[in-house]
Copies of this chain bind each other. A is one copy, B any other.
Amino acid sequence: MSTDGSLNPESDSFDSHPPFYIGQHSSTRSETLTDTQHSQVLDRGFNFVTSPITNRHFFERVVALYKAHLTEKELWSRSHTTAKPNPSLPGPVVPTLTDEDTSYFPCSYVGSIVAYSSPWTDLCSSNPDISSISRQVLNIEVAYANFCGARSIIIPGPRRDGSGGGVALYARAIQEALQAAGRTNLIIHMPMYREPGLEEKAETLTSLFKESNGPEDVNAGEIDLFSAWDSWNTIRLVCNYSTRLFYIAVRIPRRLPEKELQERWFAEPLHYLTIAQKTFQENRNRHPSLSRHHQELINHYMRLKNAPWFILNDVGPAIESLEESADKMVTDFPTLTEANQTLKESRKSQMPNLNVFVAYLRHLERQQPPFSILETPTLTSFQDWLQSPLQPLSDNLESATYEMFEGDPVKYDQYELAITEAMAEWKVLKKPSAIGAVDANGNPELVVAVAGAGRGPLVTRVLRAAKKTGTSIQLWAVEKNQNAYVYLLRQNKRVWDNQVTVVKTDMRGWEGPQPKGYTNVRCKVDILVTELLGSFGDNELSPECLDGIQGHLAQPHGISIPQSYTAHLSPISTPRIFADLKTRTGGGDANAFETPWVVRLFAMDFVAQKVPGHGRFQQAWEFVHPVDVLRADEFADENGVSAKFATAGGGSIAGSSGTNDHNARHCHLTFVCRTRGVIHGLAGFFESVLYAPQIPGKQPVEISILPDQIDRKSKDMISWFPIFFPLKTPLEFPQDTELEVSMWRQTDDTKVWYEWMVEVFAWAGPKTRMKFGTTELHSSRKIACLM
């Protein structure tokens, strides 16, 4: 984070980082604020407040009801000889609300009030009467708040984690409340982990009636960092990944947990970040501040497309006894640098009552790093947004799509560099050219083809590289899209000085270049340039297209740019995308879970660790061009099935003749996970060597979208988002797990698709490795890429 104060809050760039919305919550508040009180809180710099749905009166009625029920039970026992309680004794039925039970009513500013359900309930209670009362209270409150127009309702999280059935009871109650809530969002108040001493010491039915807390946690004593997340995972699973339970409020603890747990929560759907007064520390000047770690956490979260809002819990005076605490008001907030003095003065005059904690958060708001090139509103809107993969072979792209891709200078700079290296090397190594001609300087005249030229960005780069290296070239641009062909012809006249021969054909049907000055002669190509790569490398059928054109490549010097590419995988947890896919499946897209989606993965958690022998990202397979073997050449040369193949192929998929089998692939990868968790699918990436110079000491020219390589190989390249292979059912796994991923690239000579499955093996002790679970075999065959 930048702390040098270089950001002038008065400058134009002041709005170039995410705004903070700050709410106020008081755990002792039992009535909705009055109009006046509401205004007072807003005056303190807050944007919204919370409100209890019911009041003390209702609480007391419920307590009286339960007491009456206990008396009734007691009487029943005394009047019956049997020691066994009657299981059919009706439990207490909570009465409906009256106007005395609540001060929450529909009003003009109800939309800026966040409803808060009663904290004294205990949905997890092992006492069936208490859990039943709690469930009824929740249903009543949620239904009433929904009636009043609440947009979201915060519900206290489960009071216990782990086993004993409490969390299942809690989750079941939330599922029911979602039905009572109409279209309102329910927000479960979860801690990041159960921090000893930071638990709310609320008065609950359980504590009031001195009920047992249920079975003792067997892990009592040891802090299990992931148990709160476990509970959340169970709740949203039971609620079927409801998009209305899509937001939770994580209480930021005073001591932040390990990075893995922070990342886990980051992937979860978050609505509010709550910070209690005790999470703040005092700085040198005895003013509230947050640690560097907390600041980083907040900055990280604020980069989300739907950034969370803040709720400050019990942070000093909000309405009660304003005068007493006037000394706590901000008058000379010292962590603001001198540079901000002017602003401070103006703020002071505008908001004399600014709460010190709000003031500090406003300070953090201004101190956030500005939006980077990758954080334009457009790119941010792509966060976790599922795009159907392109079918570039069967569909014709539109001009705007080409234009979008052309807008990435990094990618084309790398291409130009690769072409330049290849041309330069040609001279140094004195390679002959395909047409055998040399130019005036005795340098070979190279035949270059751009196949799939689109609107011509690579044509431009080839011309530049040739100029830079002083290479004479004959340049062909091959394009199947008849509309783009028109554009190419125009570009050739207007921009390229008619240096290019534009051919309208599918590259797989191209008859090859006809060298200038010759008639009825076809020659070979020295440098073939294509940009057919998808997010997973081969997923837009680059291997098949290049197979179809590589017969025209000169032997043995002909070069394909790219020379090779690799596909890479990593298992990830991405609950928001899973919820989105569930909605799509419900909405009629039966193949949603078997579609490889292109998506800018953002709110997700890479669950795998980098350990010796196993990376977080692992290579699935590789393609190299040209395919330097006889058989593929035979196809290309003879434009048909060779004699060798006429009798072959009964064993290929669905009886195909197997001519594309050499482009099938299979991989088996093992990923190591230290902590337990859940995965929703596999993230896919690619890398490509555009050109690796043969001259020793020269570095290969590469592009990469691998998160741990992109900055080194092609920083700020934005042409490709990752690909995502979903799983139909979230796959849970224990600690010390090895996730074994099997993936196939399948083909039946007319189309290409992927199949994937994951197996869980875990170590139970240092020597015992056992099978724990298996997903289905997923297949994108139904939406396969057509050749």
A contact residues vs B (CB 8 Å cutoff)? 72, 76, 80, 86-91, 93-97, 128, 131-132, 135-140, 143, 162-165, 168-169, 171-172, 175-176, 179-180, 218-219, 227, 230, 233-234, 237-238, 240, 543, 621-625, 627-632, 645, 647-655, 658, 661-663, 665-666, 668, 670, 676, 729, 732-736, 738, 740, 742, 744, 755, 757, 759, 761-762, 764-765, 767-774, 776-777
Contact = CB atoms under 8 A, between A and B. Distances in A.
Given A90-B661, A169-B742, 12 more contacts: A72-B629, A88-B629, A90-B629, A93-B645, A163-B670, A163-B738, A163-B771, A234-B771, A676-B772, A729-B729, A764-B764, A765-B765
Q: Which of A87, A171, A238, A658 has the most CB of B within 10 A?
A: A87
Given A172-B755, A662-B88, A663-B88, A95 B648 contact: yes
A87 B622 contact: yes
Q: Which of A162, A762, A774 has the most CB of B within 10 A?
A: A774
Nearest to A234: B774
B759 A653 contact: no
Given A87-B624, A88-B662, A171-B777, A732 B137 contact: no
A631 B88 CA distance: 11
Contact of A654 (B179, B668, B734): B179
Contacts of A233: 774
**Which 8 interchain pairs have the tightest Cβ spacing?**
A136-B651, A165-B668, A90-B662, A96-B650, A168-B742, A88-B627, A93-B648, A238-B777
Contact of A770 (B647, B735, B755): B735
Contacts of A666: 128, 131, 169
B237 A774 contact: yes
28 contacts: A72-B629, A72-B630, A76-B629, A86-B629, A90-B632, A90-B662, A93-B651, A96-B650, A97-B650, A131-B666, A132-B661, A138-B651, A163-B670, A165-B668, A168-B740, A180-B654, A218-B767, A234-B771, A238-B757, A729-B729, A732-B772, A732-B773, A732-B774, A734-B734, A734-B762, A735-B764, A735-B770, A764-B764
Contacts of A670: 163
A46 B612 CA distance: 58
Nearest to A214: B668
Contact of A86 (B140, B628, B744): B628
Contacts of A72: 629-630
Contact of A163 (B165, B227, B759): B759
Contacts of A171: 777
A538 to B, nearest CB: 10
A93 B770 contact: no
Nearest to A648: B93
A218 B219 CA distance: 30
**Number of identical protomers:** 2
A736 B86 CA distance: 35
A650 B86 CA distance: 25
Contacts of A654: 179-180
A759 B622 CA distance: 41
Q: Which of A632, A738, A768 has the most CB of B within 10 A?
A: A768
Contacts of A238: 757, 774, 776-777
B631 A90 contact: yes
B740 A165 contact: yes
Given A139-B651, A650-B143, A759-B234, A624 B88 contact: yes
A771 B230 contact: yes
A733 B762 CA distance: 11
Contacts of A755: 172
A89 B755 CA distance: 21
A655 B96 CA distance: 10
A94 B648 contact: yes
A163 B742 contact: no
A417 B167 CA distance: 45
A724 to B, nearest CB: 21
A76 B633 CA distance: 14
Given A86-B627, A169-B666, A135 B651 contact: yes
A767 B136 CA distance: 37
Contacts of A742: 165, 168-169, 172
Given A88-B662, A176-B653, A648 B543 contact: no
A93 B649 contact: yes
Nearest to A96: B650
A698 to B, nearest CB: 16
A86 B623 CA distance: 8
Contact of A769 (B94, B96, B165, B219): B219
Contacts of A744: 172
A162 B760 CA distance: 11
A553 to B, nearest CB: 14
Contact of A777 (B86, B175, B733): B175
Contact of A772 (B76, B138, B769, B772): B772
A75 to B, nearest CB: 10
B162 A771 contact: yes
Contacts of A86: 624, 627-629
A179 B80 CA distance: 68
